[in-house]
Amino acid sequence: MEKLTQQEEEAMRIVWKTGEGVIKDYLDKGNDVMISGFGKWTVKAKKARKGRNPQTGADLTIAARRVVTFKPSNVLRKAVN
């Protein structure tokens, strides 16, 4: 991989920060985000469940929550492998 110039690195940071904000906004609204050739982010709802404190062994309930998952595209998988 070739080294980026300082200007290119700064441009990449600006593009990433802008894109990151857009992705967060879409995911916060419950929408999926897909970037062709890169992958897809989705928001999944997890139900409340029983858990256990590993230090004390006390039973507890883990609250319901939303989690973000990422599935890389086949193009990205092939590029990495």
CATH number for the domain spanning 32: value is 4.10.520.10
For residue 11, the tally of other CB atoms under 10 A from its CB is 12
Q: What is the mean pLDDT of residues 76-80?
A: 88
Q: What is the phi/psi pair of residue 36, to 5°? A: -55, 130
- Domains contained in the chain, number: 1
List the domain range (segments joined by +) for residue 76.
6-80
pTM above 0.75, yes or no: no
Angle at 18 between CA 20 and CA 34, to 5 degrees: 50
Domain assignment of residue 14, yes or no: yes
Res 1: pLDDT: 57
Res 68: pLDDT: 93
d(CA 65, CA 51): 14
Domain assignment of residue 76, yes or no: yes
For residue 42, the tally of other CB atoms under 10 A from its CB is 15
| Residue that has been written with the tokens 């309930």 in this structure | 61
Domain assignment of residue 61, yes or no: yes
Domain assignment of residue 1, yes or no: no
Mean pLDDT, the chain, integer: 89
Domain assignment of residue 22, yes or no: yes
Q: Which band of pLDDT confidence, cut at 50, 70 and 90, is reported for residue 18?
A: confident
Domain assignment of residue 28, yes or no: yes
